[in-house]
Amino acid sequence: MASALLESLLDEDALRAAEAGVPAAAAAARHASAHAVLRDGLPRARDEAWKYTSLRALEQRRYANGDVDVATRAVDAGAFKLPGIDGARLVFVNGAFRADLSTLPVLDGLVTSFADDGAASLPLARDRDADSAESRAEAFVRLNVALAGPGLVLRVAAGVHIDEPVHLVFAGAAAEADVAWQLRALIEIGAGASLRLIEHHVAASANAHLGNLVAHYALAAGARLDLVQIQDAAAATTLIRRNGFRIDSDAMLSMHTIEAGAQTMRHDLCVDLAGRGARFVSRGVFALRGRQHADTHLVVTHAARDTASDIAWRGVADQRARGVFHGAITVAKGADGADAQLSNKNLLLSPQAEIDTQPALEIYADEVKAAHGATVGQLDERALFYLRSRGIPLDIARRVLVGAFCNAMFADLAPTPLRAHLEALLATRLPQAGAAA
């Protein structure tokens, strides 16, 4: 028997609509995915990948399947403006593209389109999802394949450098009922090309929607992607994201991530270092409070020789928040000379907060350099006393130290207004001066 959530989304009409007007292969993929998720339901705690994130409450909720009035939702551009970012902007409201709020890129070598036949128009996506959607743990990918509307496609031609960041905005806006939206994106960066991209989740107004974003990135040989992810979704939302990356030889992915918003958040990062010399650098922070729950699930595969991954994430949980970090690196047979570094440090700011961290390293190759470490602790009492002994009040001293702990993850970003914005956003999520310690 399907849960309330799945019943509300996968009724006969919705399934018929999703399969209508798309190529036969896409319709078949949608059909198969819908029936698989109806058959297996959502992940359970006994599914290893969902051990720390319970979906029981979510399962009992009903959502409108997409927002039919999305075109008329009032959205103030102030909600998503970022300092110093004034180039191409693609704005999605409740999962649907809003041309009136967007500034389409007019850049040679950058092509933006919307594939209206859902899953099947995204060959890379289809291949990967066919593999990954085989288990119940991938219920949200199944749901996405079954129902996603027109997907975003961004392509950068070989050798083209897009230096001005492209700003992708995912805004949630209040609707008559809570909305579940499904969205797919495919981003391809040609050989030797480069792209700067910002994935930005914001609240246009308070809402309790369920967002489900599946994005696939392909970096061809020698390509480079600089990706900044800012997740500041509305406080009551549930946000599920899967970012899959395939990185070919000598290509490089550099990403900086902030998880600050949403009530319940799951972020899967699947990185495939597929070509010789492929590199992946990830810096991330989650800053949680109240009853927020954030689950970051990072799976990196070194599949080729001389590949490198360098991952450092930090987490802060206050009040009754719960953070989960899973970082798994596999160095496959034959990926000799790989360099895999993973560090995850966390601070608990309250006795009721909880952080679970699981670094995992599996090595099947030779001459591999690998290190991983994870810690969960409290603020350094010595540093706290040092600051206080100079006259800095306890509440400010705590803020200063927690801020420094988080901001260290952005130290390698150029000192731009964007970096200042990231630090300021984090500062709003840390214990406030004047609040009880």
- Using CB under 8 A as the criterion, which residues of the chain lie in contact with other proteins when the complex forms? 380-383, 385-394, 396-397, 400-401, 403-405, 407-408, 411
Q: What's the rounded Cα separation, in Å, for the pair 238 and 292?
A: 10
8 Å CB contact between 407 and 70: no
- Minimum CB distance to other proteins, residue 410 (Å): 10
Least CB distance to other proteins at residue 401 (A): 7
Q: Please, what is the minimum distance in Å from the beta carbon of residue 374 to other proteins?
A: 19
Strands (E), 67-160: 89-93, 96-97, 110-115, 151-156
Pick from 187, 277, 198, 208: nearest CA to 230: 198
CB of 423 to other proteins, least distance (A): 10
Strand-strand pairing, 308-317 and 279-288: parallel
For other proteins, give the closer residue by CB, 181 or 410: 410
How many Å separate Cα 184 from the centre of its chain? 13
242 versus 429: smaller Cβ distance to other proteins: 429
What's the min distance (Å) between Cβ of 73 and other proteins? 40
Q: How far apart are CA 170 and CA 167, in angstroms?
A: 10
What is the end-to-end Cα distance of the chain in Å, rounded?
47
> For other proteins, which is the closer residue by CB, 88 or 422?
422
Taking the least distance from each CB to other proteins, the nearer of 142 and 399 is 399
DSSP 275: S
Name the token pair of 104: 């389409």
| Cα 40 to Cα 33, 219, 239, distances in angstroms | 11, 33, 21
Q: How far apart are CA 299 and CA 244, in angstroms?
A: 10
Specify the residue, 391 or 434, whose C-beta has the smaller distance to other proteins.
391
Query: Which residue's CB is nearer to other proteins, number 111 or number 404?
Result: 404
Shortest distance in whole angstroms from residue 426 CB to other proteins: 12
Tokens, residue 248: 């070919």
Q: Which residues share a beta bridge with 256?
A: 228, 283
- When the beta carbons of 78 and 415 are compared against other proteins, the nearer one is 415
Measured from the CB of residue 418, what is the shortest distance to other proteins in angstroms? 18
Long-range Cβ pairs for the range 72-77 (8 Å, 24+): 73/173, 73/174, 73/175, 73/204, 74/173, 74/204, 74/205, 75/101, 75/171, 75/173, 75/204, 76/204, 77/101
- Cβ proximity to other proteins: between 99 and 411 the closer is 411
Residues 96, 64: Cα–Cα separation, whole Å = 14
Give yes or no for a contact between 109 and 193, defined as CB atoms under 8 angstroms apart.
yes
Please identify which residue in the block is written with the tokens 């109240």. Answer: 290
Closer CB to other proteins, residue 132 or residue 407?
Answer: 407
**Measured between alpha carbons, how far is 191 from 188 in angstroms, rounded to an integer?**
10
CB of 59 to other proteins, least distance (A): 41
State the nearest-atom distance from the C-beta of 397 to other proteins, in Å.
Answer: 8
**Least distance in Å: CB of 384 to other proteins?**
9
Are the C-beta atoms of residues 304 and 335 closer than 8 Å to each other? yes
Is the CB of 46 or the CB of 382 nearer to other proteins? 382
